[in-house]
């Protein structure tokens, strides 16, 4: 379960307007386009099954056409549990999710998927295509105060490849130091002291809970099932001030859908299909606080205190009892020192070490006393250095922090930090460019760490079993012992107009849905168990199976119909007259420049090295001015020339990149190539800003750097050696202190 709390408004209209219009989309997105289609007001109608009929929405952007088919939520697409609760200041409120939350696909790409909300006739959400491209649509009111909102457009759209999320990852967690050690030593020590300070009050029950019939056979049976986590999400008063109930529900629907796409597609040692569902959203309003302290109402707001740092904010969330949930996350609009976006407790496979997924509310020793905490918690802020964080950035931050809850520290050792050419992984502590193959995947190190934790958790009895109730319920205090809070998720759902395993086709819930899809080749869900989601008699295909099925004849198109448009590195693709699916597009010639000549096409993907194209090797400039560090650089393949080590050189000085060799926008008749804004520079220690200057990112700050200097092992050894040699000076100094 996820608990969400919001507690601070983000209201600086003048600053917001300046950042949006001058500095780009909160300095997180390099390129976006505006949308001004006419809102589809009052055009949604309910079908006989109680759900809204599918809605068709068309617009153009990014040199392509979008034709979105929007459906209301159903059992197979809903990320809210059956017993979902939305409470405001402790009082339950009803929110009809099916009235505004949607899922669907782009009609031009049946294998695509989308999710989001449809409010005031405008779509707001995420679109993912079968070729890997993805786009985010945000309503403009998320970034601009109503006084400064333009009248000529209502939304913006940007590609995920334009997001500079990687440059924030250095500050995403306050525990980071560098790409090698992963966690800040001081914070890690403090967390481990708390996690190892659990007080076990009922050891007998804990041993009984571990034992019984749940042996390794249960673990392996669980690996083949989809497991769902119940999540609680807490929203503080800051979010309440800038969001309606529907906006808040939409915000977290999009976040959990995005996280599910990452975790559900990852196999953790054979444990597959991990998903998350929201069981409760708790919203605190400003009425719950006065002068930085909670007011005396039925449910205390733990987040009233102002000016707390990120670790103390996590501690505030951990002080509440969240035993009824697998995870409990607090969302806020607080701008933490250092630009930190999130923090979470790291799980351990050690059975007696508390913290992370499924951890219950337990007593911990603290100084000479004790305190109760829930260490199945994390926090996310939606503000960074005065800028509203785009949804896609906070979604990836949430996925990263949950990775900590599942037992993954930041990636190490070096084999899990491969760098170029495929990039670093999602749990990498420092900067990654975001366009590499590995950037949205877990490394083998992370998978191994998470597998150890999940294996330990799945050995335990599920918390909703009859055995658990005999022990006193879901929140029984049993110390640090692991619990299994996972539940089996729902399977494929016929009627959602998405072809899933076990289905021939899927045109919708009823005949009306199929007519809307112009699909006469498939039986809808209401046709009965024997024929539902199966092709009609004599039909060879259904349009729900792919764009190459002719709906009029229920056969693959005989003509060479175009089914996929041309892209930078892929040719236009046509149907092959034998399959309803669009065949893979033929790649364009390898070596063609793409991404403004900073990459080249490689087997249909724009991820090839422009240095390798001319027989050189990728490298980073590490010495020079900020402008110089943002030059695209190469070195000799062998690293030597005439037996002399060749330094990494700017392409502005290499003959292979002379004037006319490569074209780059805004640099006509100039040699060499410049890195695009948002690209990593200085060996991943910084990023190129909009002015093409390398800006370094410091994860520690001055106090941490001073601590590292003072307590560095080399420094301590030198002090020890000096004392051994000059012992007489130490003795005299000690006597002087005693005498004077």
Residue by residue, DSSP assigns 689-710 as: -TTS-EEE--SS-HHHHHHHHH
Q: How far is CA 283 from CA 234, 252, 271, 352, in A?
A: 6, 12, 34, 33
Q: Is 126 annotated as a binding residue?
A: no
Higher local confidence (pLDDT), 162 or 454: 454
> So what's the pLDDT on residue 294?
81
- Give the other-Cβ count within 10 Å of 489's Cβ: 18
Provide mean pLDDT across the span 345-368: 86
The stretches of 374-415 forming alpha helices (DSSP H) are: 391-405
Which tokens hold the place of 155?
Answer: 């939304």
What are the tens digits of pLDDT across the range 683-735? Answer: 888 888 889 999 876 544 454 455 556 666 667 777 777 888 888 888 888 78
> So what's the pLDDT on residue 98?
82
> So what's the pLDDT on residue 501?
80
Sign (positive or negative) of CA dihedral 448, 449, 452, 458 = negative
Query: Residue for token digits 């949804």?
Result: 391
Q: How far is CA 364 from CA 300, 357, 361, 479, in A?
A: 22, 17, 10, 9
> So what's the pLDDT on residue 222?
41
Provide mean pLDDT across the span 253-261: 91
Query: Residue for token digits 């092959």?
Result: 576
> So what's the pLDDT on residue 674?
95
Which tokens hold the place of 613?
Answer: 């194209």
- Which residues share a beta bridge with 488? 227
179 pLDDT more than 80:
no
Average pLDDT over the chain, rounded to an integer: 78
Beta strands in 614-672 (DSSP E): 616-619, 633-636, 640-641, 644-645, 649-650
> So what's the pLDDT on residue 713?
66
CB 487 within 8 Å of CB 462: yes
Q: Is 145 annotated as a binding residue?
A: no
Phi-psi region of 613 (alpha: psi -120 to 50; beta: other; left: phi over 0): alpha
The stretches of 180-231 forming alpha helices (DSSP H) are: 185-195, 203-210, 216-223
- Which residues share a beta bridge with 119? 122
> So what's the pLDDT on residue 407?
93
Provide mean pLDDT across the span 137-158: 81
Query: 149-176: b or e for each residue (b if 16 or more CB lie within 10 Å)?
Result: eeeeebbbbbbbbbbbbbbbbbbbbbbb
Higher local confidence (pLDDT), 451 or 82: 451
CB 612 within 8 Å of CB 618: yes
> So what's the pLDDT on residue 469?
35
> So what's the pLDDT on residue 411?
85
Could you tell me the residue ranges of all domains in the chain?
Answer: 1-491, 593-696, 702-739
User: Which are the contacts of 550, defined by CB distance < 8 A and separation ≥ 6?
Assistant: 556, 557, 558
Whole-angstrom Cα distance, residue 235 to residue 220? 37
> So what's the pLDDT on residue 231?
73
| Residue 636: half-sphere exposure toward Cβ, Cα within 13 Å | 10
Provide mean pLDDT across the span 446-451: 95
> So what's the pLDDT on residue 68?
96
pTM score of the predicted model: 0.63
3-state secondary structure 478-534: CCCCCCECCEECCCCCCCCCCCCCCCCCCCCCCHHHHHHCCCCCECCHHHCCCCCCC
Q: What is the DSSP letter of 338?
A: G
Which tokens hold the place of 424?
Answer: 């670093």
Burial (Cβ within 10 Å: 0-12, 13-18, ≥19) of residue 38: exposed
Query: Which region among 467-471, 569-573, 666-670, 733-737 has the lowest average model confidence (pLDDT)?
Result: 467-471
- Which residues share a beta bridge with 283? 88, 235
225 pLDDT more than 80:
no
Name the residues annotated as catalytic: 401
- Give the other-Cβ count within 10 Å of 467's Cβ: 15
593 pLDDT more than 80:
yes
Query: Which region among 454-468, 542-556, 620-634 has the lowest average model confidence (pLDDT)?
Result: 454-468
What are the tens digits of pLDDT across the range 559-587? Answer: 788 999 999 999 999 999 999 999 999 99
* Bridging pattern class, strands 686-688 and 694-696: antiparallel
- Give the other-Cβ count within 10 Å of 225's Cβ: 15
Q: Is 410 annotated as a binding residue?
A: yes
Sign (positive or negative) of CA dihedral 305, 309, 314, 318 = negative
Which tokens hold the place of 212?
Answer: 């019984």
Which tokens hold the place of 263?
Answer: 């975790």
What are the tens digits of pLDDT across the range 373-405? Answer: 899 999 998 887 777 888 888 888 898 899 999
Query: Residue for token digits 């786009």?
Result: 135
In terms of CATH architecture, what is 1-491?
3-Layer(aba) Sandwich (3.40)
Which long-range contacts (C-beta less than 8 Å, at least 24 apart) are formed by 51-59?
51/98, 51/509, 52/98, 52/99, 53/512, 53/513, 53/516, 54/104, 54/497, 54/508, 54/513, 54/516, 54/517, 55/102, 55/118, 56/107, 57/123, 59/35
7 pLDDT more than 60:
no
283 pLDDT more than 80:
yes
pLDDT-derived band at 509, boundaries 50, 70, 90: confident
CB 619 within 8 Å of CB 634: yes
Sign (positive or negative) of CA dihedral 256, 264, 395, 480 = positive
Please report, to the nearest 10 degrees, the dihedral formed by the alpha carbons of residues 139, 141, 143, 148 taken in order.
130
């Amino acid at each position: 379960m996820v608990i969400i709390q919001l507690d601070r408004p983000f209201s600086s209209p003048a600053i917001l307007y300046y950042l949006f219009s001058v500095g780009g989309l909160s300095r997180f997105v390099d390129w976006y386009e505006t949308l001004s289609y006419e809102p589809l007001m009052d055009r949604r109608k309910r079908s006989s099954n109680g759900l809204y009929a599918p809605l068709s929405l068309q617009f153009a952007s990014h040199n392509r056409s979008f034709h979105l088919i929007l459906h209301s939520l159903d059992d197979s697409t809903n990320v809210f549990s059956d017993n979902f609760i939305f409470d405001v200041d402790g009082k339950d409120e009803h929110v009809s999710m099916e009235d505004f939350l949607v899922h669907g696909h782009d009609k031009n790409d049946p294998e695509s998927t989308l999710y989001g909300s449809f409010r005031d006739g405008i779509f707001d959400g995420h679109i993912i295509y079968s070729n890997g491209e993805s786009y985010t649509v945000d309503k403009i009111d998320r970034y601009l105060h109503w006084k400064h909102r333009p009248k000529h457009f209502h939304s913006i759209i940007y590609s995920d490849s334009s997001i500079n999320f990687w440059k924030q990852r250095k500050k995403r967690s306050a525990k980071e130091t560098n790409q090698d050690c992963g966690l800040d030593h001081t914070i890690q020590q403090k967390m481990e002291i708390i996690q190892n300070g659990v007080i076990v009050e009922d050891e007998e029950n804990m041993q009984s809970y571990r034992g019984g019939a749940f042996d390794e056979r249960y673990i392996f049976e669980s690996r083949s099932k989809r497991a769902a986590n119940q999540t609680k999400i807490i929203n503080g008063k800051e979010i309440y001030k800038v969001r309606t109930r529907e906006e808040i529900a939409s915000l977290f629907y999009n976040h959990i859908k995005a996280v599910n796409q990452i975790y559900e597609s990852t196999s953790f040692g054979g444990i597959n299909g991990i998903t998350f569902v929201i069981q409760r959203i708790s919203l605190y309003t400003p009425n719950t606080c006065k002068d930085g302290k909670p007011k005396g109402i039925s449910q205390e707001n733990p987040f009233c205190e102002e000016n707390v740092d990120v670790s103390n904010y996590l501690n505030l969330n951990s002080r509440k009892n969240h035993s009824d949930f697998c995870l409990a996350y607090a969302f806020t609009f607080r701008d933490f020192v250092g630009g930190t976006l999130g923090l979470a407790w790291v799980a351990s496979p050690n059975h007696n070490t508390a913290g992370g997924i499924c951890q219950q509310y337990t007593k911990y020793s603290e100084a000479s006393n004790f305190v109760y905490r829930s260490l199945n918690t994390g926090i996310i802020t939606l503000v960074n250095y005065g800028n509203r964080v785009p949804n896609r950035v906070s979604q990836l931050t949430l996925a990263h922090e949950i990775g900590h809850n599942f037992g993954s520290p930041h990636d190490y050792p070096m084999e899990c930090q491969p760098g170029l050419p495929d990039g670093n992984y999602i749990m990498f502590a420092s900067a990654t460019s975001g366009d590499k193959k590995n950037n949205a995947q877990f490394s083998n190190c992370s998978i191994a760490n998470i597998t150890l934790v999940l294996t330990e958790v799945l050995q335990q009895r599920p918390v909703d079993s009859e055995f658990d109730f005999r022990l006193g319920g879901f929140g029984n205090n049993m110390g640090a012992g692991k619990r299994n809070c996972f539940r089996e998720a729902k399977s494929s759902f016929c009627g959602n107009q998405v072809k899933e395993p076990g289905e021939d086709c899927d045109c919708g819930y009823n005949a009306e849905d199929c007519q809307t899809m112009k699909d006469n080749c498939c039986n809808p869900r209401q046709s009965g168990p024997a024929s539902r989601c199966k092709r009609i008699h004599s039909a060879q295909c259904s349009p729900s199976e792919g764009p190459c099925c002719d709906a009029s004849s229920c056969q693959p198109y005989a003509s060479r119909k175009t089914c996929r448009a041309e892209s930078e590195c892929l040719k236009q693709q046509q149907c092959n007259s034998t399959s309803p699916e669009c065949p893979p597009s033929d790649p364009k010639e390898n070596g063609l420049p793409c991404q403004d000549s900073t990459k080249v096409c490689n087997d249909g993907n724009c991820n090839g090295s422009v240095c390798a194209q001319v027989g050189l090797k990728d490298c980073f400039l590490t010495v020079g001015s900020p402008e110089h560090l943002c030059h695209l650089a190469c070195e000799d393949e062998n690293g030597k020339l005439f037996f002399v080590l060749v330094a990494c050189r700017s392409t502005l000085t290499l003959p292979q990149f002379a004037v006319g060799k490569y074209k780059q926008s805004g640099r006509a008749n100039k040699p060499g190539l410049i890195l695009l804004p948002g690209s990593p520079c200085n060996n991943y220690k910084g990023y190129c800003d909009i002015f093409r200057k390398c800006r370094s990112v410091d994860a520690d700050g001055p106090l941490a750097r001073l601590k590292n200097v003072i307590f560095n092992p080399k420094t301590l050894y030198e002090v020890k050696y000096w004392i051994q040699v000059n012992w007489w000076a130490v003795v005299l100094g000690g006597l002087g202190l005693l005498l004077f």
